[in-house]
């Protein structure tokens, strides 16, 4: 399976218990012909897979327990501190990650659920569906810690006398490194077992439940895989934890051009793109390091609150565009396949539309009517373009943009100049809050319905920097929540001065 291969390309050698391999070979043998088997034969094969699932789950719990008691507990004992290898003292949490939390979940919850449900395939499927979020949370954390654990372990070397003594007492044939890989092996094993159960199941409720369980575990696998790629990014200047959920990641050919020099079009380059809820990161894939792991060097990013999307580029069904306000910066992205391109376009569209839905009320509808959509159907439908003044990026607004998904409604370049939307009000005009708003981040201000404020400057589209009446402070607030107490339409020239404020 592709996801399995990607996850396991982290450079860790997989070592499987012989009995587990033997059971799986017996269960999977002849599965291709199962479609013509009668119900009794499928039931028998399904029973073998269920037995394997339960048996290997017990082995997995036992192995995790032995690692914790045979290694982690020994490392943390006060009387053993003098015998520890240099650099290991106080580093047990780095070496083992959240293995203890994994062990507790599987021993106290998941294994018990399986034991209660093993006689009914539908209930077994439900065990996976109900625990999906827990699987994702625990295994994402464990996999993200693997590089730290490995770096520490390489400084120790598994042949160190202390670790050798622990291994001998446990009777383990394999070193600690092999057992610390067990969680990665286990999360990939589940989807194989669920596929076998689905293959031998009858159509109907049972099949539907198993398909849902399989889909859940494939999502977990993808999330774990995405997490492994994310931690390989180097040199990124923003806090990835503040960019929302990682939605997609993948390798593309990207060519770029800027409005500053339309003659200059950077030749296509290989970039690994990470799509978050609040930003797109463009990274340069680097050669695998000494650990045989891929790394990605950060090159630049686009905030989702400031970009537009062109769904189709003439001449290639695999291409689409993302562009900054007014097409001042355009990136043409070529996907490996038309299917991958379609998936990315749909996800980006969903993010942009979801941003607008966060703002509610009549003010939002008016705001949307007065601005052009940032989603174009195709690049070849564009008419002659005219220069329009664009607000410069504002560093002081960056943090607030990162924490609020208000779309930057850039003017569609296919529109004529006379259709340009209404300019922002002039600096100093009086504003009134249309509804309550709770600030997200230190650079924003909260609003109360009916509260008065003064406009100080306009940042990226959709956000105004205001001073609240009565000395209640100042900061960024969404323009959709504010209305002018006195309408003031300014000229394009004064509009330019406003953005330079």
Residues 261 and 140 in one domain: no
Residues 182 and 264 in one domain: no
The CA distance from 445 to 474, in Å, is 6
Position 93 in a domain: yes
Residues 156 and 276 in one domain: no
The CA distance from 181 to 393, in Å, is 45
Residues 444 and 345 in one domain: no
Residue 469 Cα distances to 165, 428, 433, angstroms: 71, 12, 11
Residues 102 and 157 in one domain: yes
Position 375 in a domain: no
Position 329 in a domain: yes
Q: Which residue has the tokens 């001073």?
A: 467
The CA distance from 130 to 36, in Å, is 32
Question: What is the predicted pLDDT for the residue at 389?
Answer: 36
Position 396 in a domain: no
Position 408 in a domain: no
- CA torsion 349-355-358-359 (nearest 10°) is -110
Domain stops at, among 319, 353, 387: 353
Task: Write out pLDDT tens, residues 430-472.
Answer: 998 887 777 665 677 888 888 999 998 775 445 788 999 988 8
CATH of the domain at 185: 1.20.900.10
Task: Write out pLDDT tens, residues 169-198.
Answer: 999 888 888 888 888 889 889 989 999 999
- CA torsion 120-125-129-132 (nearest 10°) is 120
For 421, residues 6+ apart whose C-beta sits below 8 A from its C-beta are 370, 371, 372, 411
The CA distance from 458 to 490, in Å, is 13
- Please give the full DSSP string across 121-149, using - where no structure is assigned: HHHHHHHHHHTHHHHHHHHHHHHHHHHHH
Domain that holds residue 441: 429-484
Residues 63 and 188 in one domain: yes
Residues 305 and 337 in one domain: yes
CATH of the domain at 315: 2.30.29.30
Residues 189 and 117 in one domain: yes
Domain stops at, among 199, 231, 263: 231
The CA distance from 50 to 42, in Å, is 12
Domain stops at, among 231, 256, 285: 231
**b/e sequence 410-447, b meaning 16+ C-beta within 10 Å:** bbbbebeeeeeeebbbbbebebbbbbebebeeebbbbb
Q: Are strands 279-286 and 295-303 parallel, antiparallel or unpaired?
A: antiparallel
Position 464 in a domain: yes
For 406, residues 6+ apart whose C-beta sits below 8 A from its C-beta are 305, 355, 356, 358, 359, 462, 463, 478, 480
Residues 308 and 336 in one domain: yes
Residues 480 and 340 in one domain: no
Residues 218 and 260 in one domain: no
Task: Write out pLDDT tens, residues 270-327.
Answer: 999 999 999 999 999 886 554 446 788 999 999 988 888 888 888 789 999 998 877 7
Residues 222 and 265 in one domain: no
H/E element, 478:
strand 474-478
Position 147 in a domain: yes
Task: Write out pLDDT tens, residues 313-367.
Answer: 887 899 999 988 777 888 999 999 999 999 999 999 888 888 766 655 445 555 5
Position 23 in a domain: no
Domain count, the chain: 3
CATH of the domain at 455: 2.30.30.40
Quote the tokens at residue 486. Answer: 């006195």
């Amino acid at each position: 399976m592709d996801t399995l291969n990607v996850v396991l390309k982290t450079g860790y050698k997989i070592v499987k218990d012989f009995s587990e391999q033997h059971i799986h070979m017996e269960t999977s043998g002849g599965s291709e012909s199962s479609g013509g088997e009668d119900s009794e034969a499928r039931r028998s094969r399904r029973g073998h897979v269920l037995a394997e699932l339960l048996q290997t789950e017990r082995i997995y719990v036992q192995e995790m327990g032995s690692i914790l008691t045979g290694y982690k507990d020994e490392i943390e004992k006060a009387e053993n501190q003098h015998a520890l290898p240099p650099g290991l003292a106080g580093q047990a949490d780095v070496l083992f990650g959240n293995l203890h939390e994994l062990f507790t979940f599987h021993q106290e919850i998941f294994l018990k659920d399986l034991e209660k449900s093993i006689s009914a395939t539908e209930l077994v499927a439900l065990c996976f569906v109900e625990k999906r979020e827990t699987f994702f949370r625990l295994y994402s954390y464990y996999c993200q810690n693997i590089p730290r654990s490995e770096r520490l372990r390489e400084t120790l070397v598994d042949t160190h006398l202390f670790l050798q003594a622990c291994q001998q007492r446990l009777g383990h044939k394999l070193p600690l490194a092999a057992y610390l890989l067990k969680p990665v092996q286990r999360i990939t094993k589940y989807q194989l077992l669920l596929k076998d159960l689905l293959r031998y199941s009858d159509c109907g409720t049972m099949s539907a439940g198993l398909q849902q369980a399989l889909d859940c575990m494939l999502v977990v696998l993808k999330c774990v895989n995405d997490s492994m790629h994310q931690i390989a990014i180097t040199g990124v200047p923003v806090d990835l934890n503040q960019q929302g959920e990682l939605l997609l990641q993948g390798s593309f050919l990207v060519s770029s051009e800027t409005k500053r020099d339309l003659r200059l079009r950077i030749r296509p380059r290989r970039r690994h793109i990470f799509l978050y809820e609040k930003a797109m990161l463009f990274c340069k894939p680097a050669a695998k390091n000494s650990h045989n792991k891929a790394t990605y060097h950060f090159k630049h990013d686009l905030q989702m609150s400031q970009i537009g999307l062109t769904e189709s580029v003439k001449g290639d069904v695999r291409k689409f565009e993302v562009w900054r306000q007014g097409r001042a910066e355009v990136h043409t992205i070529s996907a490996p396949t038309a299917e991958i391109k379609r998936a990315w376009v749909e996800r980006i569209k969903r993010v942009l539309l979801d941003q607008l839905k966060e703002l509610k009320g009549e003010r939002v509808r008016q705001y949307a009517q007065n601005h052009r959509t940032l989603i174009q159907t195709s690049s070849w439908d564009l008419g002659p373009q005219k220069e329009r003044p664009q607000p410069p990026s504002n560093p002081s607004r960056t943090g607030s943009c990162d924490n609020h998904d208000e779309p930057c409604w850039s003017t569609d370049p296919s529109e004529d100049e006379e259709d340009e939307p209404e300019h922002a009000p002039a600096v100093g005009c009086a504003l009134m809050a249309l509804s309550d708003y709770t600030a997200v981040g230190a650079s924003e201000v909260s609003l109360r319905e009916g509260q008065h404020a003064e406009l100080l400057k306009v940042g990226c589209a959709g956000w105004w920097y205001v001073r609240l009446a009565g000395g209640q402070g100042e900061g960024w607030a969404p323009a959709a929540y504010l209305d002018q107490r006195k309408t003031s339409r300014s000229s394009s020239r004064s509009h330019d001065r406003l953005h330079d404020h």
